[in-house]
Structures are given as C-alpha cells and as structure tokens.
C-alpha cells in the first residue's frame, strides 16, 4: 500500500505534490481541532457559565450587603438568568425572569440551599427536568443565594463560540491557501525557466537564464549557466586546438609527401639525397612528438581515474637525465642545478615527461638562465623570461589553451595531470625578473612518501 502511494506520488508534478501535502495537513489539522474541540467545548462552556454566575452573584451579594432596595438589588435583568435569595425568616426574593421554575425544582433548590454552610461555600448542580445549571452560594447564616442559568443561554454561547472558531479557521485556511499559491508560483516559475533553458541547450539553440534568487534554486541556476559557459569555452578551445593541430600536422605531412614524391622522381629537393631524407625524418619526428603528446594526455586522464603505480623512484636521477636530453635545444642558456637526493612515488617515465615539459617550457621563454631546485619539500624550475599575466596564470595548466607565443602546446596540461595523479600540486608564480614553477606534495600519502635518498 505504501509503495503504491509512493509510486502515485512520484507521478505528480511538484505543484500537485505541494498542494497535496498542504491539503493533507489542513485536513489533519481541522479534524484534530474539531475532535479536540468536541471533547472540551462542553466543559469550557460550563466553566464560562459558572464564571458568569459567580460574577453576577458577586454583584448581587455586594448590593445586598449595602442594603440596596429590592427593586435595584439584581441590577440589569437578564432573561436567561434567575436569582433567588432565600431567607430563614421570610419568603424568598426572586429576580423577575421569563423562566418559569417547576415546583419540584423550587423544592430541590430550597432543600439544597439550607444544606449549605460557610465551610462548603458553593453547591453546583444541574436540573435534568428543566435543563438548567444552578449554583447555591452561602451569604450568611440566615441567607443563601441561588442562581440558575438556562440551557438556551449555554446553547447560544456554544453556537456563537463555534461560529467564531469556524470563521477564524476559514480565514486562516484561506490566507494559508493564498500564501501557498504565491509561494508555489514563486517556486515553480524559476524551475520552469531552468527546464526551458536546458531544453534549448539540448537542442543546440541560444539560451539565456536569469533567475534572481539567492536560495538553492538560484545556486543551481548560477551553476548551470557557469557550466554552459565553461562547456562553450571548452568547445571553442577544442575547435581552435583541432584547427591549429591540423594545421601543424598538415605542414610536416605535406613536406614528407612532396619530398618523397620528388625523391621517387629522382629529384633531391634539398641538395642531396641524404639531406632530403633528413628533412623527411625531421618532420616525421615532429609528427610523432605531437601524436605522442595527445596520446599521453588521454592516457594520463585514464590513469588519474583508474589509479596509478605508486612505486618509488630516484627523482634526482630523473632530473639529471631530463636536463641532458633538453639542454641541446638552447645550449646558450645557462642551467643552474641545486639537487638534493630525494625519493618520489610514481613511475620514471611520467615524472621524466613532467621534468622535460617544464624544462622545455622554461627554455622557450628564458633569456639567459634556468635554475632547477630539488628538495624534500618541493621541486622548482625558474626561468628569467617574461612574467605571466593574471589571466594567463589561471589558465596555464588547462588543456587546449593558447600560450603567449600563440602555440597550442599540451605540455603543461600533461604536467598537471601527472602530478595530480600522484597526489602532488603544481603552481606558477612571478618572482623577481622571471617565472617559477613549483611542484609540492599535496595529499597526506604523497607527503609521507617524499623522503631523502642516498646521494
């Protein structure tokens, strides 16, 4: 049964769910209220009647003790209330009233009145024959006062009370319903905006989303817009990147093709056969390097999600090997090294790619020198080239970003993926007359794994 109700509830729209919950609450509240009221209203009305009797009796007793004339003793006459004062030495004195009392009730009242004494004070009873509530109050040894109130009065009071409660309840429920309608509209409208925005995005149409809210719905809307902007930016960068990569690949391919066709025809485009073949090999190496960079970037993304080898490697040796392999690119650049014997987690090849890419990037921009430092706390590569702008600093390690020289290199994106996969962090900062890249352990596991090795 509960499962069926849950399934039905899931099929309803959010508006229907909200209305259903509110109406259920109203029904439960009204049912409880009237059930509670029906249990307590008779006692409440009876207490109110008793209070009215006591107040009117107090006024009459006060007037009696002041010896006020009998005609003015009872004050304003209420046709639903009867006052009778019994004396020990004379006839009872009654207030004028439209209520006629039976002889049986009069005898009952007189008997009970003289049964009262100062110790018992009040006597409260109910007459079934005439459906009246009466109270007998002790005044003094010779005097008692009996006050009777008709059930008509009680019924009128009860009806008035119930009508007032019902009217108040109707007003409260109406106001609640109006507020609910306003709140539902306020809640559903931005959700419909978000749904329409997503539908337009799904269809590839231009879409704008403006939700002026500071709650969770507003946060979702802001996140969706930011996500869409990031997707559009990534798509633009990927298109530019693919365009530039295809342009970069087209040149060596065209060169290889033209040189090969010329050699086949017995023509040597670059002086001799050996030099012409060297050009073909050079462009083939360029193609191989670009393809390997793309494959490595994708492979590192897979490794970051699936887990990487957490072995130990001598980072000092890897840095030295990387320096030897790249220093020939610009032999005029002075390289200073300050290397402590340090052990890192990971595999040799990914870390060597990281160092070579950082050195390659430094060689591209350095004016005269590069400084490499390796300690147990960090690895840093400094070059005295131009400093980075703030905008460039934020986008430095993103794939497909164009560098200051207009190239779409993937080197720093590969560096970021490798160090992140091993639990390290990388950052760039402008220092003095150049730029420094720093790699340091970020996770607790990687911090514990970095240690000094033997020299």
Residues 367-424 pLDDT 10s:
999 999 999 889 999 999 998 888 777 778 776 555 555 454 567 888 888 888 888 9
Expressed as residue numbers, the domain containing 268 is: 216-299
Classify residue 143 by its DSSP letter.
Answer: E
Residue 434: its H or E element: strand 434-441
Q: At what angle do helices 273-306 and 411-421 cross, to 10 degrees?
A: 30
Is the CB of residue 341 less than 8 Å from the CB of residue 454?
Answer: yes
Q: Are residues 87 and 194 in the same domain?
A: yes
Distance, CA of 43 to CA of 37 (rounded, Å): 10
For residue 231 the two structure tokens come to 């997707």
pTM score above 0.75: no
User: Which class for 321: exposed (0-12), middle (13-18), buried (19 or more C-beta within 10 A)?
Assistant: middle
Q: Are residues 100 and 193 in the same domain?
A: yes
For residues 7-14, give the mean pLDDT. 68
Task: Produce one character per residue of 52-67: b if its CB has 16 or more CB atoms within 10 Å, e if not.
Answer: bbeebbeebbebbeee
Q: Are residues 313 and 293 in the same domain?
A: no
Q: At what angle do helices 273-306 and 216-264 cross, to 10 degrees?
A: 160
Distance, CA of 406 to CA of 414 (rounded, Å): 18
Please identify, among 280, 299, 318, the residue that sits at the C-terminal boundary of a domain. Answer: 299
Q: How far from 310 is each of 2, 304, 349, 416, 446, CA to CA, in Å?
A: 51, 12, 13, 17, 9
Distance, CA of 319 to CA of 352 (rounded, Å): 7
For residues 144-156, give the mean pLDDT. 79
Distance, CA of 354 to CA of 163 (rounded, Å): 83
Q: Are residues 197 and 240 in the same domain?
A: no
Q: Are residues 78 and 179 in the same domain?
A: yes
Q: Are residues 274 and 384 in the same domain?
A: no
Q: Are residues 242 and 344 in the same domain?
A: no
Is residue 391 assigned to a domain? yes
Residues in the chain: 455
Residue 428: per-residue pLDDT: 92
Distance, CA of 33 to CA of 20 (rounded, Å): 20
Listed in sequence order, the residues at least 6 apart from 425 whose beta carbon sits closer than 8 Å to its beta carbon are 419, 439, 440, 441, 442
Is residue 211 assigned to a domain? no
Range name among 98-102, 145-149, 333-337 with the lowest pLDDT average: 98-102
Residue 3: per-residue pLDDT: 73
Please identify, among 202, 231, 246, the residue that sits at the C-terminal boundary of a domain. Answer: 202
For residues 205-217, give the mean pLDDT. 80
Biggest distance spanned by C-alpha atoms of the chain: 157
Is residue 381 assigned to a domain? yes
Distance, CA of 269 to CA of 251 (rounded, Å): 16
Distance, CA of 387 to CA of 382 (rounded, Å): 11
Comparing C-alpha atoms, which of 55, 213, 220, 207 is closest to residue 145? Answer: 55
- In 10 A of CB 143, how many CB atoms? 18
Q: Which bin fits 133, alpha (ψ -120 to 50), beta or left (φ > 0)?
A: beta
Kindly report the CATH number assigned to the domain that includes residue 383: 3.30.565.10
Please identify, among 299, 326, 356, the residue that sits at the C-terminal boundary of a domain. Answer: 299
Q: How far from 249 is each of 71, 246, 256, 283, 297, CA to CA, in Å?
A: 122, 5, 11, 9, 18
Q: Are residues 403 and 329 in the same domain?
A: yes
Q: Are residues 272 and 349 in the same domain?
A: no
Is residue 207 assigned to a domain? no
Is the CB of residue 412 less than 8 Å from the CB of residue 396?
Answer: yes
Distance, CA of 124 to CA of 132 (rounded, Å): 11
The band of 339, judged by pLDDT with boundaries at 50, 70 and 90, is: very high
SS3 content of the chain, % helix, strand, coil (to 5): 60, 15, 25
Is residue 210 assigned to a domain? no
**Pairing relation of β-strands 122-127 and 81-87?**
unpaired
Q: Are residues 283 and 378 in the same domain?
A: no
Residue 39: per-residue pLDDT: 67
Distance, CA of 182 to CA of 189 (rounded, Å): 11
Is residue 403 assigned to a domain? yes
Residue 182: per-residue pLDDT: 82
Q: How many domains does the chain have?
A: 3
Residue 90: its H or E element: none
Is residue 208 assigned to a domain? no
Is the CB of residue 380 less than 8 Å from the CB of residue 438?
Answer: yes
The band of 241, judged by pLDDT with boundaries at 50, 70 and 90, is: low
Distance, CA of 372 to CA of 366 (rounded, Å): 13
User: Which class for 179: exposed (0-12), middle (13-18), buried (19 or more C-beta within 10 A)?
Assistant: exposed
The side-by-side arrangement of strands in the sheet containing 424-431 is 334-339, 369-374, 378-383, 434-441, 424-431
Residue 371: per-residue pLDDT: 94
Tokens 């009215």 appear where? 52
Is residue 209 assigned to a domain? no
Kindly report the CATH number assigned to the domain that includes residue 288: 1.10.287.130
Proportion of the chain above pLDDT 90, given as a percent: 11
Output the average pLDDT for the chain: 79
Q: Are residues 2 and 31 in the same domain?
A: yes
Q: Are residues 294 and 409 in the same domain?
A: no
Proportion of the chain above pLDDT 70, given as a percent: 81
């Amino acid at each position: 049964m509960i499962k069926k109700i849950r399934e039905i509830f899931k099929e309803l729209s959010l508006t229907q769910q909200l209305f259903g919950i509110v109406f259920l609450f109203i029904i439960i509240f009204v049912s409880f209220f009237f059930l509670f009221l029906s249990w307590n209203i008779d006692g409440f009305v009876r207490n109110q009647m008793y209070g009215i009797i006591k107040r009117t009796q107090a006024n009459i007793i006060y007037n009696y003790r002041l010896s006020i004339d009998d005609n003015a003793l009872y004050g304003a006459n209420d046709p639903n209330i009867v006052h009778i004062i019994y004396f020990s030495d004379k006839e009872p004195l009654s207030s004028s009233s439209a209520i006629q009392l039976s002889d049986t009730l009069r005898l009952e009242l007189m008997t009970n009145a003289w049964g009262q004494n100062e110790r018992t004070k009040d006597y409260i009873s109910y007459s079934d024959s005439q459906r009246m509530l009466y109270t007998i109050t002790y005044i003094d040894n010779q005097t008692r006062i009996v006050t009777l109130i008709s059930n008509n009065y009680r019924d009128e009071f009860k009806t008035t009370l119930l009508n007032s409660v019902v009217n108040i309840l109707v007003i409260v429920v109406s106001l609640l319903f109006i507020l609910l309608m306003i709140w539902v509209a306020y809640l559903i409208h931005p959700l419909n905006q978000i749904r329409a925005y997503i539908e337009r995005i799904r269809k590839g149409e231009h879409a704008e989303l403006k939700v002026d809210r500071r709650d969770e719905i507003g946060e979702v809307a802001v996140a969706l817009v930011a996500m869409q902007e990031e997707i559009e930016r990534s798509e633009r960068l990927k298109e530019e990147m693919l365009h530039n990569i295809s342009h970069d690949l087209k040149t060596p391919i065209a060169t290889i093709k033209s040189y090969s066709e010329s050699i086949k025809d017995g023509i040597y485009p670059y002086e001799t056969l050996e030099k012409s073949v060297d050009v073909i090999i050079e462009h083939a190496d360029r193609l191989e390097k670009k393809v390997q960079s793309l494959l490595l970037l994708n492979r590192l993304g897979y490794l970051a999600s699936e887990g990487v080898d957490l072995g130990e490697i001598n980072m000092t040796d890897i840095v030295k090997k990387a320096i030897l392999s790249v220093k020939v690119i610009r032999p005029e650049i002075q390289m200073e090294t300050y290397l402590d014997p340090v052990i890192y987690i990971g595999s040799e090849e990914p870390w060597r790619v990281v160092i070579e890419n950082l050195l390659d990037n430094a060689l591209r921009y350095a004016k005269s020198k590069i400084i490499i430092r390796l300690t147990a706390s960090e690895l840093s590569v400094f070059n005295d080239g131009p400093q980075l702008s703030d905008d460039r600093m934020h986008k430095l390690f993103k794939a497909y970003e164009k560098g200051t020289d207009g190239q779409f290199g993937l080197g720093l994106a590969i560096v970021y993926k490798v160090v992140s996969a091993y639990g390290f962090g990388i950052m760039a900062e402008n220092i003095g007359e150049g730029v420094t890249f720093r790699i340091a352990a970020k996770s607790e596991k990687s911090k514990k794994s970095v240690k000094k090795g033997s020299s």
